Chain A
Amino acid sequence: NAGVTQTPKFQVLKTGQSMTLQCAQDMNHNSMYWYRQDPGMGLRLIYYSASEGTTDKGEVPNGYNVSRLNKREFSLRLESAAPSQTSVYFCASSDGAGFLADYGYTFGSGTRLTVV
């Protein structure tokens, strides 16, 4: 099925460990996004990529890095995990400035990350 695939779905890390969250979309979308969701905070943008080869910071980028590997894939890396990064992470894609952009985003199913 077409959509956005995130891996893993669940992860527990120790403080200081590193990991990469993977995201891939097969809809030929130009733009991809990483959000984190915390209770009472809604979804906040971490990083985004408006097109292949470009990335930009969102609202809460500290402690994260991203890579837009190609048009399909957009990964999020935690270099040294901290308990404050315990959250649910969502990847999303959209058609960028294309006609379908006004239909919003297509979201992955999320990754629940716990840092102990």
Chain B
Amino acid sequence: AQTVTQSQPEMSVQEAETVTLSCTYDTSESDYYLFWYKQPPSRQMILVIRQEAYKQQNATENRFSVNFQKAAKSFSLKISDSQLGDAAMYFCAFRTQGGSEKLVFGKGTKLTVNP
């Protein structure tokens, strides 16, 4: 079974600085997708960024980028120029390609942004 581990229950960053959230996963599959979701206090789950395992290039979405290390099964999220609106719970998630496409989530990292 696939597992996703987020080793940092809480992180904090100063506004305008950079922070990296860690995620590791365990799978025997070779084709899969990885995601970072943001959950602000509104409770809504918002897709931040995704990565296909077959792509070597790290995904980037504006201030959000990932460091995908397939051999190490690591998928960290870097937030640059942190803003107060980035404060939220962040969940790393994994999904195999095909099959029932179930998303497996990590336990989350609570990010605080200090002004």
A contact set with B: CB distance below 8 Å: 31, 33, 35, 40-45, 48, 50, 56, 58, 88, 90, 92, 94, 96-97, 101-105, 107, 109-110, 112
Q: Indicate with 1 or 0, residue by residue over B82-113, a CB within 8 angstroms of chain A CB atoms.
A: 00000000010101011111111111100000
A56–B99 alpha-carbon span in the complex (Å): 12
B contact set with A: CB distance below 8 Å: 4, 6, 9, 33, 35, 37, 42-45, 47, 50, 52, 91, 93, 95, 97-108
Known contacts being A43-B91, A109-B43, A109-B44, is A103 close to B101, with CB within 8 Å?
A: no
List 11 A-B residue pairs with CB atoms under 8 Å apart, sorted by A's residue number. Answer: A42-B105, A43-B91, A43-B103, A50-B101, A92-B45, A97-B99, A102-B97, A103-B50, A104-B103, A105-B47, A105-B103
B107 near A40 (CB under 8 angstroms)?
Answer: yes
Set B42, B50, B108: member contacting A104, Cβ < 8 A: B50
Smallest Cβ-Cβ distance to B1: which chain A residue: A59
Smallest Cβ-Cβ distance to A90: which chain B residue: B45
A48 near B102 (CB under 8 angstroms)?
Answer: yes
